[in-house]
Each structure stands twice: as structure tokens, then as C-alpha cells.
Copies of this chain bind each other. A is one copy, B any other.
């Protein structure tokens, strides 16, 4: 076996290789669509406790890998662990989502950067455990929330329409830039730690890149993402990056042209043509099956999977969704798509 053949398919795709059957994994593959997750979740107590418990988080990360022939696992964690590590209180309201306490001063946040990574050492422990158990041909992905998205939660205290945060970007540009600067530094350190602990690829989730004007997008998305990649590289880490500017529309092409990531994850509304242009520009693309179609199932789902493969698998491509798996997605729909993309049966791998 050559070294290329032992390299996980996901990493080969991130290095620009093309496959008739591209690698596949799903955003939020670790989580609520699996009954074994709900069992563990009930035992863990609250969500933060689960994410910060390496044994349990490793188990949650591995659960979908036993169900389906996914080509990659993604560590079970949360994008809001960074503000928590920077000293902002974090908790989850049942059925409502995350809540954050008052925003610390910029000085306090800046002082907290150096110690923040140590507070997230458990995530590194989770990665090490998963990497030790996972088959070598399956890759392990680490991740972080991108600065703007994390900042919207820090500023608004919760998930929102982000109108207050977007207004803040205009009314207090220096203050926002300072906050983003702290988040760039903390995120780069966190990702370096994750790579050293076993993450073979790193994903930046800019979950709220919607509705930003081009000049603002350049300032608060393209700039911070670029600096994170540069800082991670300066630390000697060469794990490939997947950037996900969700909802950025045509600005995804700015992102692909300017940010030194190896792959750009595309959301549900990406056009075939835009994806091909990004591939032609030298980057791998990932995406973009509609998570609502995955949940709905039926012949339309098979047809769409085939169409995505037909439109993008001629270039470097990672099959994925355009958004996370919805909690009430039938297991058989997920199994069916992963089998269809990989050509491998899931049956033998099932938890039963």
C-alpha cells in the first residue's frame, strides 16, 4: 500500500484529489438524530457538561461512525466554548438554545486569551481519544466558530436575527474590530491545540455570514479568517482548513479567492456554476445537499444526490449537507445517502 492509499480520503480531497465517489460526512452528524445520543445526553446532564466530558464527547463523536461509512468524524463540541473560556458565562436553556452572560470588558477578554486554550484542554482530550479509536482511513475534523459568528452571540447574549450585532458593526467599528481581534487570537490557539491533539483537518464555522454588505464582509469575515489561518500556520500546524461562510451568497467567491483555506464549504443555495468556479480557482468544495430534503426523503433525495455528484465530482469535492442534520431526520435517509455516495453498505456497521 502506498502512503497515498493510507491517507484518509477526506485529506486527499482537501489536497485537491478528485474521486468518482468523493468522501462524505455530514454537519451535525454527531447528535440528535441518533437514539444512542439522546441516551447519553440524558445521563450527562447539561449540554456544556457533555461537551466538556472527553469520554462522553468521544463516544458521541464516534456514534455516527458506527452507523454509517462516513469518511470523517467531527469532534463533538460547541462554537460557544471560546467565549466561555474567555470568561463569559454560557448556559443552554432547554428548547431555546444558548444564553451568554454579560460581555466582559475588552481588556478582560484580551487578558483571558493566553489562558483560554488550557480551559479547553478537555476538547483536546476528546480528539485524542477519538483519534485512537477511529480507523486510520477515516479522518478526524476539529473546528471552531468563526469570530464574527461568535461575536454576534457574545454581543446579543443569544442566537438572534443579528440585527443588533450588524448595527454594532457600523456604529462601533473599532470596538467590534477589537473583539474580533481577541477572538482571532483565541481561536487560532484553540485550533493549534486541536491539531496537536489529533485533528487532521480544521473547520471554521461562520454560521451567520448572511446579509452582510461586501465591505463589511471583507472586514469582519475575510480578514479574521485569513489571520486565523496565518496564525495557525505560523505555529507550525499544516492541517488543511475548511472555511464555511454560510449564507454569504455571491460573496462566497470573494472568500474563496482571498482566504487561504484549502476548501470552501457551500450552503444549500450554492449554484453548480459557483462551485465549479471555486474548484477551477484551485480550492476543494464541500456541500451542499438540502437538510430539509434529507429529512423529507423519497426519490427526489436520490435524484438530488446523483445531481450533486454529477455537477461537482469532476473536481475536488467533499459530499456534505448545506446545513446541519435536523434532529428529526429519519436514520434510514442518512444511511441511504451515505451508502449511495460511498457505495459501501452501512448495515454491518450499525450499532444493533
Q: Which residues from chain A sit less than 8 Å from chain B, CB to CB?
A: 163, 166-167, 170-171, 173, 210-217, 247-254, 267-274, 288-290, 292-293, 295-296, 298, 300, 304, 307, 322-323
Contacts and interface: CB of A to CB of B under 8 A. Distances in A.
11 contacts: A167-B296, A170-B290, A210-B269, A211-B268, A215-B307, A248-B249, A248-B269, A249-B252, A249-B271, A250-B252, A250-B274
Contact of A211 (B167, B215, B269, B298): B269
Contact of A298 (B166, B170, B322): B170
Given A210-B269, A214-B272, A268-B211, A292 B163 contact: yes
A137 B82 CA distance: 57
A268 B212 contact: yes
A288 B249 CA distance: 14
Contact of A271 (B247, B254, B272): B254
Most buried by B among A173, A213, A252, A272: A213
A296 B172 CA distance: 10
B250 A292 contact: no
A213 B254 CA distance: 21
B214 A271 contact: yes
A177 to B, nearest CB: 13
